[in-house]
Amino acid sequence: MKAISQPTNSNKSHKLVTLTALAAACAMMLSAPANAAEDGASAANTTVPSAIDSSKRVIRRATPNSSINTTAQSEAPLNSNTVEQGSAQANNVQQTNAQPTRVPLNAAQAQANQELEFTGTTRVYERGPMNTSGIDLRGGQLANIPTPQVQLSDISFVPTVLISQQNGLGTDKLDVSLLDDFIKDVSPNARHYPPNFPNRTQRHNAREKIKVMTEWIDTYAKSSNASYDVLLRAAKLNGMGRNLDLGSEYTVRGGQYIDRAIKIKPDSAEANFIYGLMLSEGGGFKEGQKYLDKAVSLGYTEAEQSLAQSDLLSDRRDKALERLRRLEQTVPNNAVIRQQIKLVEDGKFYIWDIPAPNM
């Protein structure tokens, strides 16, 4: 039977010394990242400028080695953010002083760092002098900025058009200047079916604009006391939306609006033409003819062209050609009518299928 030897006192003391050395080494390793983090934070505060109160365009450059300039403080009041940053700077200074001594820099490095340090002052940027043409960018605090050069040509103006929102005296007015300008611009392309655009981009842009403008004018046209001018414009926009296949609701709204407009002004040549146009080009040739005939009697030339289109789609080609030729003699300067006659003579069925102008 073997005897178990007991450890001696010398062995115990040797193990104790070994554990103590190991603990000291671990403590040094754990303290190194903390010191490195403190060094990194100090370096960031020294080199990175910080912006304070951007709404007032106050720029403050933070550095722990420079004090706040009292003169600059009097120029611009400091807010709570400035006070908090000052406290942070003081803490950074204390942390810097508490750090262990580092290797000293030579004279050249110290001088370079001294020149790169920021002053720590607060500066408030104000707008430059005002004159009749606006802010002069060439003076004040925006020196060495290139002066923009602008040239204008082919200047045109959209006439201001105000219409009554509702029937009666003293009603509010609506500014339809841009709406009328758009209707005038896009009508040659989209008033009749099928619509005709030079390219897909212009067709897409017209569709999107009609959506927006129709949504705006519909809010006023839906009123039971909407004025004639509001209803007429809403009918035109919805009619073009129908021709551009935006949905059956455009057809329904357009018919309702123009029907109400005619009830307000039964002898309106334009309202009778719009209603007859919508009905005939939608397949209701007989229903639309009476409105087109009335528009013709009131001197609306385009209504005669729409009657020729109805004759053509109703297999009355000879009558459509006769109508157009008679109209050409009445309006000899109308180049569109001559193109329509050529289309009918060539056996085509849509007299509005002619090259459309650019919007």
Phi, psi angle pair for 356, to nearest 5°: -90, 150
The rounded distance, in Å, linking the Cα atoms of 241 and 281 is 14
Q: Are 292 and 273 in contact (CB under 8 A)?
A: yes
Tell me: the pLDDT tens digits for 281-293? 888 888 889 999 9
Residue 260: strand, helix, or coil: helix
What is the 3-state composition of the chain as percent helix, strand, coil, each rounded to the nearest 5? 60, 5, 35
Selected residue with higher pLDDT from 308 and 11: 308
**In whole numbers, what is the pLDDT of the chain averaged over residues?**
74
Both structure tokens of 226: 């909407």
Q: How confident is the model at residue 53 (pLDDT cuts 50, 70, 90)?
A: very low
pLDDT value at residue 133? 62
- At 167, the amino acid letter reads N
Both structure tokens of 3: 């005897």
Q: How many CB atoms lie within 10 A of CB 325?
A: 14
Tell me: the pLDDT tens digits for 103-152? 454 555 555 555 544 445 555 545 555 555 666 655 555 666 666 777 88
Overall pTM surpassing 0.75 (yes/no) = no
Which stretch, 34-43, 157-166, 238-247, has highest mean pLDDT? 238-247
